[in-house]
Structure 1
């Protein structure tokens, strides 16, 4: 892997991440998958309909059971197993439930994950069995993530464990032609994040994954946490973050100098029957410009539309006028509304196509604004135009529910 920085703008940076013949322009979105494949997007759609989907994020934990690492290894790795030879595959373990003791498979402590067969405790040894079998292009080491409301003592312990697991993962790495992201933790504790960043930067890693975000930190404090972490990381190495998936959060991460994001936001909207319609400041022949009158009339200042709603029953307009995605070029709001009401899976396919296309276009607009040294203007313009529809945001409510579940599960471990 090679990472080349090309330009900066107001703290944001644009670059090129190269994996042999495959290249990713950064900042970019990693398409989140389940067991390596998007839920409703087939290979031909990835190739022909979503060309910006150059990188997929997988969870190595998903490959500990079905199929097990031995099967994946015998096939030749995740690229051959899933026919993803022309896609960058990034292995990142997400949604852990803290740490637990495990006396069954030779591991003192490991991160607890919910799997299809119940909770499973995974230590560095078991985790690296999956990594060595999958052979991803890029992968992050095993973290001990704790919620923001944990005590200082627990954050300190999290940093120590994550560093110890980082060393174990590097030792157990049997595939030397892939690249490693060292995980930086510390929760809402600025000093612990600084200590974690400095110690991780001294290891032999190709880049960094900022863990612990999206676990209950106060949004007003997030900028300071990002700054206190990134300030101690070498700028020539790639940076990834999980937990920042909303457009406002992405812009905040880009402004801090993050290069890679993974987000369930597009697919979560799809599963609720929503389509993205928020404005995009796209590249034009004569440079950037605000929304046109036609886009204004199409209500593109709203964040999303609910295609379950009966108001779309006879609406023969595309989801977003002027959108070049397959769904908007070929189908109407009324058709997708009908598919949703008769519970036809094609509805989720068409919505996923649009939502991912829209979000990839959002990242393309970010990259172009950086290249034109107008990122700050783009960010201010975007924030001034974006409005929330009345009521709770579809993803915010989901994140709140997830955080409540995580808090109930982890709370008894915080003082350990």
Structure 2
């Protein structure tokens, strides 16, 4: 168990239904924190049910650090495959040894990302890109697809990093943890990520044998990690296996060499009499002795473990039971990100329920792949504690602004009949629509987010920013959508405390219905803007070459505009001369 991580459950209200196991709690880190100007006694806490902020390369998309800290979330989720430097994990030679704020402590990933006041959780992949709500055209989801990466093995897991596909071994993983030292680290796991294609639509998912192998491999890795966290040698068995393979290869090589010598002697009889026959060596029965290696403990880092099993309920239950038996685990990750394209959400939530039933209640559970508000409510009712903020991010990418709410009167006052007729739902509006071009009102009346507060930014203004491709548009939309998502979870926690969660969840479903399915199709106005940008970029590419970064040195090589223009002028002059010569010949 981590010495810094705590999870406290609070008592629910008297009106709570026995059918719902929704719970309210607090995740906190009680030590090892620092802020910009020196040591601090504590970080932010995460109230559950709640969220970790979705990030790309350690940065929350579209939000500056000051706007990000205006949000009511206490933690950030970081994907390691997006973040690893070119020389990592093979080498951490450029990684500082000591913290610049406290020389007696090590430099951490939180300090590198300037997120010392937030709870930092690290996992290998960006699982938010695999959910059904993520756009099928997402570049991240295409890059990370396991079909492109290939299967994991007992020795390593494959990662899709910005510099290409890389193998991450257990030694690499342990080195990353000891150097980065995040607040929460998710154990190395053999996740199966399969995407449906036209050729595999009839398949229900990966084979049972593959699923069982992934569960067993993940449990083996988890046992090794737990030993290493306590300062023990968790790699002894792997080194023994490697030594056996080495001896087997050496025996085969000696036998092959002896056969070559024997064949040479048989082919040259006179020489054979003068040479000594190579004696056949008996296989060595010397037992393999592996000496334990001293390791550096990292007990202050909390460890979350994956609960796997893909689409098979029996494997989900087995994975949950076996993972729960490991006493050193601080929390659980229920990964459904790959399931959302295989089966319907109803079946996904049944598998989540099967997993949760076999996990200890005193430890937090985070789920991947459940994002929309109505699905989040159903998962909370099953006992899930943590989610991520990829839902407001995807809304922002589509130019949409949230209007949903939760509580006694979930329907927002600002939703008019015109809005409803335009968007056919009252949970968000699409600010790409032309109808918002003359609406000089806030996105949502009464909203206290950065975009709406004081009426400083209107729907018409954001519509204009989108159509002129100004980055401020996504900044304002992300601020609003994140604020509303945080407010949604705040009201959910209040309803659990008051015992009205089930009643308000029913009212939410009746008011807002089901989230429309997100597709790769873009708004017509967005397509027009992107086409204009593409045409502009093509014109600029002819005048100036792109910047080339020399990796590792930071040097930039840029062709001067004058040189490019000179080359273009020569081409134009030659072309004109050629056309003039052709005209002269025709006249003659």
TM (norm. structure 1) is 0.85
Structure 1 residue 339: deviation in Å?
A: 0.9
User: Is 2:81 aligned against 1:35?
Assistant: no
Q: Which moved more, 1:365-374 or 1:292-301?
A: 292-301
**Aligned match of 2:547:** none
User: Structure 1 residues 73 and 34 mapped into 2: Cα distance closer, same or farther (>3 Å)?
Assistant: farther
- DSSP-derived class of the 2:451 partner: helix
Q: State yes or no: 1:302 paired with 2:426.
A: yes
Partner of 1:123: 169
| 8 Å Cα contact 2:415/2:426 also seen in 1 | no
Shift of 1:224: 2.1
Residue 4 of structure 1: how far off its partner (Å): 0.9
| 2:75 equivalent in structure 1 | 55
Tell whether 2:153 aligns with 1:85: no
Cα distance in 1 for residues equivalent to 2:205 and 2:96: 40
CA contact (8 A) 1:242 1:263 kept: no
Matched residue of 1:327: which SS? coil
Does the CA-based 8 Å contact 2:86-2:163 persist in structure 1? no
Which residue of structure 2 lines up, in the alignment, with residue 339 of structure 1?
A: 465
5 Å-filtered alignment, 1:255-294, equals: 255-277=381-403, 279-282=404-407, 288-291=408-411
Q: Which moved more, 1:129-138 or 1:207-216?
A: 207-216
Q: Deviations over 1:134-192 (max 9, x none)?
A: 21111211221224611111111111111112123323444210111111100111111
* Alpha-carbon separation, structure 2, partners of 1:316 and 1:19: 44
CA spacing shift, 1:165–1:392, aligned 2, 3 Å: same
Instruction: Give 1:241 shift.
Output: 1.1
Q: Once the 2 structures are TM-superposed, how far is the Cα of residue 64 of structure 1 from its aligned partner?
A: 2.2
Superimposed CA distance per residue, residues 3-35 of structure 1 (whole angstroms, 9 cap, x where no aligned partner): 111034421111111211232210111101112
When the two structures are aligned, how many residues end up with a matched partner? 384
Structure 2 CA distance for aligned equivalents of residues 321 and 72 of structure 1 = 48
1:185-204 alignment to 2 at 5 Å?
185-203=308-326, 204=328
Question: C-alpha displacement at 1:352, in angstroms?
Answer: 0.8
Secondary structure of 2:216's aligned partner: helix
Q: What corresponds to 1:413 in structure 2?
A: none
Do 1:100 and 1:112's aligned partners in 2 also have CA atoms closer than 8 Å? yes
Match of 1:180, SS?
Answer: strand
Match of 2:378 in 1: 252
State the distance in 1 between where 2:412 and 2:113 align: 42
**Aligned-partner SS, 2:209:** helix
- 2:501 matches 1:375: yes
SS of 1:188 mapped into structure 2: coil
For the residue of structure 2 that corresponds to 1:313, the secondary structure is helix
Structure 1 residue 214, shift from structure 2 partner: 4.4
What is the CA–CA distance in structure 2 between the aligned matches of 1:7 and 1:297, rounded to whole Å? Answer: 41
Alpha-carbon displacement from aligned partner over 1:300-326 (angstroms, at most 9, x marks no partner): 861221111111111111111111101
- Name the structure 2 match of 1:184: 307
By how many angstroms is 1:296 displaced? Answer: 5.9
Residue 267 (structure 1) shift = 1.0
| Structure 1: segments with no counterpart, 5+ residues | 283-287, 398-416
CA–CA distance in 2 between the matches of 1:124 and 1:194?
26
Q: What is the CA-CA distance between 1:108 and the residue it aligns to? A: 4.4
Q: Secondary structure at the match of 2:205?
A: coil
Which of 467, 486, 490 is matched with 1:364 structurally?
Answer: 490
Structure 1 CA distance for aligned equivalents of residues 151 and 419 of structure 2 = 53
Q: Say whether the 8 Å CA contact 1:100–1:121 is kept in structure 2.
A: no
Greater share of residues in strand: 1
Task: State the Cα RMSD in Å.
Answer: 2.5
Alpha carbons of structure 1 residues 97 and 158: separation in structure 2 relative to 1, 3 Å: farther
Name the structure 1 match of 2:253. none
Structure-1 separation of matches of 2:410 and 2:486: 19
CA distance in 1, matches of 2:378, 2:158: 29
Q: Which has the larger radius of gyration?
A: 2
CA distance in 1, matches of 2:521, 2:384: 22
The equivalent residue for 1:171 is 227
CA contact (8 A) 2:151 2:158 kept: no
User: What TM-score results when the alignment is normalised by the length of structure 2?
Assistant: 0.61
366-375 vs 58-67, greater mean Cα deviation: 58-67
